[in-house]
């Protein structure tokens, strides 16, 4: 053993070089994987809870536009029938009913408005989150969709 380098000496008196390698730390890798999985779960759980309601709201945004155009082209009764059909056909959740949507006439302008709310319970707690949604399509007196 060479006292200056603390490396083992070879038979010919030369000091052999040893490669210095940091010891592996498997606990650090497990910790990193755990943090990544935890972060993904923290993002996925809220998205999974809210996504069905947001999807219904996006679909309802399209439905009110179609109903408003039917109201303009075919009259109020056909628009109400179309609204009922679309709510069933587009598989809008049970949180939105026919009575959540109104066909309003104000002056010469017409408006189709759907407003609904839901309370989402948070699993594993006694907490809940209330969410409100609104979809509106308006027809100007000249029949243009806004």
pLDDT per residue as tens, the chain (146 positions): 545 555 555 556 666 666 676 677 788 888 999 999 999 988 988 888 899 999 999 999 999 999 999 999 999 999 999 999 999 998 888 889 889 999 999 988 999 999 999 999 988 899 999 999 999 999 999 999 98
SS3 47: helix
Regarding pTM above 0.85, the answer is no
pLDDT of residue 84: 93
Dihedral through CA 99, CA 103, CA 104, CA 107, nearest 10? Answer: -170
3-class DSSP state for residue 70?
A: helix
Q: Which two tokens stand for residue 108?
A: 């010469």
Query: Residue 95: what are its φ and ψ, rounded to 5°?
Result: -80, -15
């Amino acid at each position: 053993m060479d006292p200056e380098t603390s490396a083992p000496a070879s038979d010919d008196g030369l000091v052999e070089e040893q490669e210095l390698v940091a010891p592996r730390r498997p606990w650090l890798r497990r910790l990193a994987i755990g943090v990544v999985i935890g972060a993904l779960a923290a993002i996925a759980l809220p998205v999974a809870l809210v996504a069905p309601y947001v999807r219904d709201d996006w679909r309802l945004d399209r439905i009110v536009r179609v109903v408003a155009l039917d109201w303009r082209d075919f009259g109020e009764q056909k628009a109400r029938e179309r609204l009922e059909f679309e709510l069933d056909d587009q598989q809008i959740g049970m949180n939105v009913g026919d009575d959540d949507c109104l066909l309003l006439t104000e002056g010469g302008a017409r408006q189709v408005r759907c407003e609904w709310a839901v309370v989402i319970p948070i699993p594993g707690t006694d907490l809940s989150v209330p969410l409100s949604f609104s979809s509106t399509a308006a027809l100007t007196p000249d029949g243009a969709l806004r």
